[in-house]
Structure 1
């Protein structure tokens, strides 16, 4: 694992916590609770997780369900990709746990849910300055801020009479899990209190305030006092209380650059033949307003690598420097033969730069210049390879945002590789940034950028599909879809006036379904665009799939034989009618 994590706060999130649980008057405690405060880099990437489960009293195995739900979440959540958002990570883990609990109940207890592996589960993940809350059942989370107590969860309990109710949702109750998810902003000094119904049904908001105030930093004592108070007031259920106080918050947008700007200064421009941190510079591959890229040899191993350093113009721009470091961080986490790989870090770095594998070949731009009118098969084969690389991004909740021919390498054996990750949008990192109400700049290249970027909207996987389709469109037609009009269309109304021009012509053997697939993938409105990469690539090779279903294609394209048979039948009927009516 890297010794740094982009987006990981310079000042770490710090909390104080207290927990207490008792069986109460019952012989078995079916509640289960837990909390995990990892070290860096997981603290910045995944946050602090708190979980509380409450078993149902009718089942003698629900304590196993409670323990399984909490333990599985606290272990498996931190095993999900660091690039995933909290929501996706938590929902994947909870869904898998729910499926296991439900299957155990069906195998051992059939349809009798009241005896199965069923429990409530309430989870809170503190990441950055945000509390992510996932809730199933009737445990509760309260927030105490400036003396005011606010309930943050809604009980999933269905009341059939004033004194009779049942759980509407629970872990293990059904094969599919419906989870309440929402976020809350966090301020320093906030106190979050998680409680099962055995506690909260017998205490008041004032009791919560008094316990937290009376016990100061001893939050274990505060949790114990609230449990004992509920018992004294007649609670006949298991009782669990968790208290978490936020003592320090990371500064918003204080990411890796804030941590390393002092220890990792930007290097000077490099010269051919120069030794640089264990590498020997062989050649300068390219220089731009954003970066300088060099071919180098690792002196220790003799391997050829590519080194990228910040340009002179941008080395004082923290946002750009963070994107540069994020590029290598992501390359270590994306596993695809169609995406450039980061070079292993074998020694401590003294300056800020990235190192990646050297790919011998040419860019897709150069390939297109050498093949101005390529045959359909090699063009689609390249696009399919790039799509497989993009799928590796999308599986990790990463949007590339700058897919263009210059950022795609074609190796000597014909393998396509995405080589630039500097403009990506990563869900897990995005959660750590401060909210930004102003439209951001278009990070990608305008010619291939999806129209929604020019409205200031965030990119999605459909934006990447647009860029991929634009590349294929250019390969087949020699022009860009919509020309320069897409970049000039800065309103939804203007974008809806953009007109798709077919790639079909008399001199090229391009099937109509390929043109239809491009038309849909290049729709100006992302809601009308092809939703999945796999659907786009499938449509390129399968008649009838391009328009989202064969029913949308003309009969001539769907079934030419049936079309001509029908036309002949109509002509026969017309001739027959003319013959009958002829005197």
Structure 2
């Protein structure tokens, strides 16, 4: 098999420029599309997996799923094929900006207004996917990309590498390993139960909690640790992690991450609408004018000049989202815990105490925070206040108040990622 290298032609119009990353089962290259006169990204199956049938099927599903969703909030798939010597590839649009994980490493947490924009746009992507029977199964900050789109904060969902159709049911691989990123996995995903669209809503609820508070609601980097956090640890409220948040967010999170899928929001659109109401911002807010930072990508250029800001969010009654949790929830949780205990005991006896492995998606998953090591929270939080006009993004403005609580940890120096972050593909 011919080695990949700069100048190699994937097709008559696509010429490789340089490798920009890789991991897991894939390698990612920046390339020139000679006919369109633009840069594209080409993802290849790693040569060592080229004969692995399961890897090839997952790779094909990734290409098909992203192409079928047809949403402006999903990374665009331009082509899919096999090179002359048999190496599968996917051609995708080249995104410039940063993923949400990189933004959180700089800001630690975002304002409710800014979070509402991100949740709303990802919900639109999921709504399109779910209507076509596709569940993503790996919603996390690393797979949420904040594009450099001038004045707008434009968000795209990436990496459909472990997406499956609802008709496929379970999530176990042919080798029997559970796949996903543990802290963002729903209870049914952790337990290898059949999945539907509501597993993605749980994951988006976890992301929203992390974006608002700078911490994970169910910490742990293994299936066992996260499962115990969900079923045994006291349910953590957003307002307990960051007291500036009101009871409306607590009620929203309780429903978004209800243990019983039947108690969650019925759709991505319903979840997003409820979040906007909790954030007390217009459903569509316009970008502000002036020199305020217009996207998260611009924050690092002006953060040092800002006075100490605070979080601005008007009071919203928790009864707005007062969907009564069903009495069967306790029975569901009890049964689930018995099942988990039985499986855990069997695994410990069979493996001598080893934790069940988690098979990562096509790209190597990033490290996640544990209970002992919460995400850093800086001494300032950038506030984005919306204007009254109508648009698709959230408008930032200068902050007006001091923080109502002390930061959880000391700030860390921001890490400035490059524009060609291969981990997003």
TM-score per shorter chain, which class? 0.5 to 0.7
Q: 1: CA distance between counterparts of 2:117 and 2:269?
A: 14
Aligned to 2:9: 275
- Encode CA deviations 1:504-554: one digit per residue, 9 max, x unaligned: 15965322111211122122332333332222222223343323269xxxx
Distance change (3 Å), C-alpha of 1:366 and 1:527: same
Does 1:546 find its partner at 2:321?
yes
Q: Does 1:362 align with 2:137?
A: no
1:349-428 to 2 correspondences below 5 Å: 350=84, 351=86, 352-413=88-149, 414-427=153-166
TM-score, normalisation: structure 1: 0.44
Aligned equivalents of 1:344, 1:485: Cα separation in 2: 35
Instruction: Tell which deviates more after alignment, 470-479 or 533-542.
Output: 533-542
1:232-274 CA distances to partner (integer Å, 9 max, x unpaired)? Answer: xxxxxxxxxxxxxxxxxxxxxxxxxxxxxxxxxxx65522343
Summarize the alignment of residues 403-482 of structure 1 with structure 2, pairs less than 5 Å apart: 403-413=139-149, 414-427=153-166, 430=168, 440-482=176-218
**1:184-234 superposed Cα distances (whole Å, 9 cap, x missing partner):** xxxxxxxxxxxxxxxxxxxxxxxxxxxxxxxxxxxxxxxxxxxxxxxxxxx
CA distance in 1, matches of 2:260, 2:18: 44
Partners of 1:405 and 1:348 in 2: CA distance:
30
Do 2:100 and 2:142's aligned partners in 1 also have CA atoms closer than 8 Å?
yes
Match of 2:323, SS state, is coil
Contact kept, 8 Å, 2:18 with 2:29, in 1: the verdict is yes
Task: Please show how residues 181-220 of structure 1 align to structure 2 within 5 Å.
Answer: none
Per the normalisation by structure 2, the TM-score is 0.59
1:330 aligns with 2:65: yes
Q: Is the 8 A contact 2:82 2:89 kept in 1?
A: no
Gaps of 5+ in 2: 278-316, 326-425
- Higher RCO structure, 1 or 2 (CA under 8 Å, sep 6+): 2
Q: How does 1:226-265 map to 2 (within 5 A)?
A: none
Q: Are residues 1:304 and 2:304 paired?
A: no
Change (3 A) 1:441 1:452: same
Map residues 53-68 of structure 1 onto 2, 5 A cutoff. none
Q: Is this contact kept in 1: 2:96–2:148, CA < 8 A?
A: yes
How many residue pairs are counted as aligned between the two chains? 279
Instruction: Determine which structure has the larger strand proportion and give its number.
Output: 1
Counterpart Cα distance in 1 of 2:221 and 2:263: 19
Pairwise CA distance, 1:400: 0.6
Please state whether the residue corresponding to 2:73 is helix, strand or coil.
Answer: coil
Residues 1:513 and 1:436: Cα distance change in structure 2 (over 3 Å): closer
2:219–2:229 Cα contact (<8 Å) kept: no
Q: Do 1:295 and 1:304's aligned partners in 2 also have CA atoms closer than 8 Å?
A: yes
Provide the C-alpha distance between the structure 2 equivalents of 1:479 and 1:327, rounded to a whole number of angstroms: 30
Partner of 1:540: helix, strand, or coil?
helix
Verify the 8 A CA contact 1:305 1:355 in the aligned structure 2.
Answer: yes
Deviation at 1:364, TM superposition (A): 1.2
After superposition, give the CA deviation of every residue in 1:288-313 in whole Å (9 maximum; x if it has no partner).
Answer: 02211111111233221111111244
Deviation, structure 1 residue 321: 0.7
Distance 1:518 1:359 in 2: 31
Are the equivalent residues in 2 in contact too, given 1:514–1:539 (CA < 8 A)?
no
Question: Deviation digits for residues 76-96 of structure 1, max 9, x if unmatched?
Answer: xxxxxxxxxxxxxxxxxxxxx
CA contact (8 A) 1:540 1:546 kept: no
Judged with a 3 Å threshold, the aligned counterparts in structure 2 of structure 1 residues 359 and 443 are, in CA distance, closer, same or farther, namely same
Structure 1 residues 313 and 506: CA distance shift in structure 2, 3 A: closer
Contact 2:183 2:226 in 1 (8 A): no
8 Å Cα contact 2:220-2:226 kept in structure 1: no
The structural deviation recorded for 1:317 is: 1.8
Higher deviation after alignment, 499-508 or 464-473: 499-508
Does the 8 A contact of 1:289 with 1:313 survive in 2?
no
Per the alignment, residue 203 of structure 1 pairs with none
Q: Which has the larger radius of gyration?
A: 1
Using the TM superposition, name which of 335-344 and 495-504 deviates more.
Answer: 495-504
For 1:396 and 1:547, the matched residues in 2 are separated by 30
Out of 507, 513, 517, the position equivalent to 2:248 is: 513
Q: Is the 8 A contact 2:182 2:223 kept in 1?
A: yes
CA contact (8 A) 1:451 1:524 kept: yes
Q: Distance in 2 between matches of 1:494 and 1:501?
A: 10
Q: Report the CA distance between 1:438 and its aligned residue.
A: 8.8
Distance (Å, rounded) in 2 between the aligned partners of 1:468 and 1:538: 13
Distance (whole Å) between structure 2 residues aligned to residue 315 and residue 511 of structure 1: 51
